[in-house]
Amino acid sequence: MAEGDNEVASREVAVDVRWSLQRRRVRSVWILLLGGPVVVVGANFALGLICDQCGMVAAVVWILFLLVRCYQVLGFRCPRCGEQFYIKGSARWGGKHCLHCGIRFGDVAKAK
């Protein structure tokens, strides 16, 4: 195996790790969106006996976690073009393709 082949293989592994991390981030956004309210209501019932504001604190913490995770997801840079994958001008959340170069989410072979 030549040095150039080794470099390409290591770059593909790095890109694959970035896609994997982004998949986990997107999955965690969905978990926070769907499971967060259930946890907040449960915390309100469970901690409501201890203090009156515990439900509000749980809701604020949930919203902060959700905002931070959404910021991380939307700030993801495309491995091919280096631009933000989901944001182009006023368009947001382009789905499974980069809004700039059109690379499909998770495609390693075409990444630079």
pLDDT in tens, 20-61: 888 899 899 999 999 989 988 888 888 777 777 877 888 899
pLDDT band for position 100 (cuts 50, 70, 90): confident
DSSP H stretches of helix in 1-112 = 3-47, 54-74
pLDDT band for position 111 (cuts 50, 70, 90): very low
- Amino acid (1-letter code) at residue 61: V
CB atoms near residue 13 (< 10 Å): 11
Which phi and psi angles does 69 have, rounded to 5°?
-65, -40
What is the pTM (predicted TM-score) of this model? Answer: 0.71
Q: Are 36 and 70 in contact (CB under 8 A)?
A: no
Res 85 pLDDT > 50: yes
